Structure 1
Amino acid sequence: MPRLQSLALPPALPSELLTYVLAHQAHPTTLIICQPRSNFLTSLLNSIDQTSPISNPSATDDPSSAPAEPSPVHPLLIPTLHQIATSRSVKVVFIPTVSHLRAYLAAFGEEDRVALPVPQFEKQGKNSPLIVVYGLVGLHRDTSEWSAQGLGNSVSALVEVGERCGRRVVCFEEREDEISGDLQELEDEEEEIESRRWKEVCKVWEQRVPMLNGSVRRAGMGSEDEAWSGRTIEAGRIFGRWFRFEKADWV
């Protein structure tokens, strides 16, 4: 079986994450969410509210006009046959700590392959079985594993599991509800705005992490690079050893 290239995609809202999984998964697929279930569901509801189509209020201004059409519904809230069938092929796991993640990956094997029912009418296409990880970098932040050593150990274990089980590994980070900065106020050309937006959402890969576990943060330092004793490296360079960085529909 040819090796499936691991992918690192731009930070996404929870609703964008689920939309991607539904569109690109094949049986079997595992979705690893690196945060408590309650936190993710809260963020998911907020992101659905934010990205739902907005109805036109002018249609209801005139009382004598025809009854207003129902407000558009977010696609994730429409129980289509495709969504129902696809969701049954996706195993969702909530991982609260780095220790839980590594223990889960160590036990990941054939039992995960047979735990989900095989869809009877699934067509063979270009989609691949996936291991999708949401929030891997954030899971390590502010822990003793926040280093190139700690993050690299988790990433290499994840890629090894993907190769062993014949699955493509896809990593996302969670992005904020709104992109910071003054992008909406820019009057520059559209291409420049898109370039600025791309740099903004991908700042997660530019975060500096110390090389070794146990590095000491120095107080009173301005930049993230200067805040750590010893050498630091960008998080994206750690992922770049195994992952290919790609753009996505939501950027």
Structure 2
Amino acid sequence: MPSPPLALTPALPSELLTYVLAHQVYPTNLVICQSRDTFLASLLSIIPQPIQRQPPPPPDDNTNAFVPPITEEPEEALPPEPEPEPPQHPLLTPSLHQIASSRHVNVVFIPTVSHLRAYLTAFPPPKEKDENGGPPELRFDKPGKKVPLLIMYGLVDLHKNTSEWSAQGLGNTVAGLVEAGWRGEKKVVVIEERKVEDDGEEMDIEGEQPKRNPRWKVWEERVPMLNGSVKRAGFESEDSAWSGRTIEVGRIFARWFKFRKGDWDIE
């Protein structure tokens, strides 16, 4: 029986991939609730790219070219030594563990809520087999310490600005996710994308419901109870508010999930 689902603190795309490589056990499924191009653009904006130095131009093979006479000139000072290049991001170093692990992580890009629910309904997919006819045994830790994961990245953000942005819509998706994890015997992990501008002072949080923590503010967003709710102008404010009753997103997840800090937030 898989352990209870986890909702971790928001992570950058690079932190997400590092977490998957560190904790994956075959067969792990990574579901990214974005288009492939959007995710790669976010990833490239975070990971510094190595500078490609241009080689010097080849010598001119024209033997008839004019060669100026050699004149004696005073010795010039040696050019300054080039500055050392910054160390590469760990994801850019193709270690053996990274290569072996990434081959057996099933990555799926899902751009809409409808596609996500269809994927969860049909989950788990058929088991993959290696060349010898059986699943590869990739265990880099003691048996039983790790379990296969079903990681969902950006589930809450996928529902925003849609008709499913409500407790009803989120609840239906989360219930389908928990059922899919139970059916596929996987541990469900939900991680939202962290924006660089969202960084702020942190507070310790363990257990049930996160409150008043910049890292957890995604769970403090309020949504209407039912689909089809409309926004009304806020009283004496430029902000708009949902009509009728609202509820925090974290309370919808708290029925099934435990809230924890990710590896990237643990000092």
TM-score, normalised to structure 1, is 0.82
* From 127, 147, 154, the counterpart of 2:166: 147
- Report the RMSD for the aligned CA atoms in angstroms: 2.5
Which residue number corresponds to residue 166 of structure 1? 185
C-alpha deviation, 1:98, in angstroms: 0.3
SS at match of 1:166: coil
Post-superposition CA distance 1:208-240 (Å, at most 9, x none): 00000111111345497x711111000000000
**8 Å CA contact retained: 1:4, 1:163:** no
* From 94, 108, 129, the counterpart of 2:123: 108
Which residue number corresponds to residue 202 of structure 2? 194
C-alpha deviation, 1:162, in angstroms: 0.4
1:241, 1:3 → 2: CA distance? 16
**8 Å CA contact retained: 1:211, 1:231:** yes
2:260, 2:14 → 1: CA distance? 19
2:240 corresponds to 1:232: no
Which residue number corresponds to residue 39 of structure 2? 40
SS at match of 1:128: coil
Task: Show the 5 A alignment for 1:126-141.
Answer: 126-141=145-160
1:49, 1:234 → 2: CA distance? 36
C-alpha deviation, 1:64, in angstroms: 5.5
Amino acid at match of 2:15: E
Change over 3 Å in CA distance of 1:223–1:8 after alignment to 2: farther
**8 Å CA contact retained: 1:3, 1:166:** yes
SS at match of 2:233: coil
**8 Å CA contact retained: 2:26, 2:138:** no
2:46 corresponds to 1:31: no
C-alpha deviation, 1:5, in angstroms: 1.1
Post-superposition CA distance 1:169-189 (Å, at most 9, x none): 000111112335xx5xxxxxx
C-alpha deviation, 1:130, in angstroms: 0.5
2:233 corresponds to 1:219: yes
| Same amino acid, percent of matched pairs | 60
**8 Å CA contact retained: 2:28, 2:104:** yes
SS at match of 2:264: coil
SS at match of 1:126: coil
**8 Å CA contact retained: 2:2, 2:185:** yes
Amino acid at match of 1:194: E
1:241, 1:38 → 2: CA distance? 33
Between Structure 1 and Structure 2, which shows a larger proportion of helix residues?
1
Please list every run of at least 4 consecutive aligned residues from structure 1 whose deviation after the TM superposition is greater than 3 angstroms. Answer: 62-65, 67-70, 220-224
C-alpha deviation, 1:26, in angstroms: 0.5
Change over 3 Å in CA distance of 1:45–1:116 after alignment to 2: farther
Amino acid at match of 2:5: S
Amino acid at match of 1:82: H
TM-score, normalised to structure 2, is 0.77
Task: Show the 5 A alignment for 1:45-84.
Answer: 45-49=44-48, 63=79, 68-84=83-99
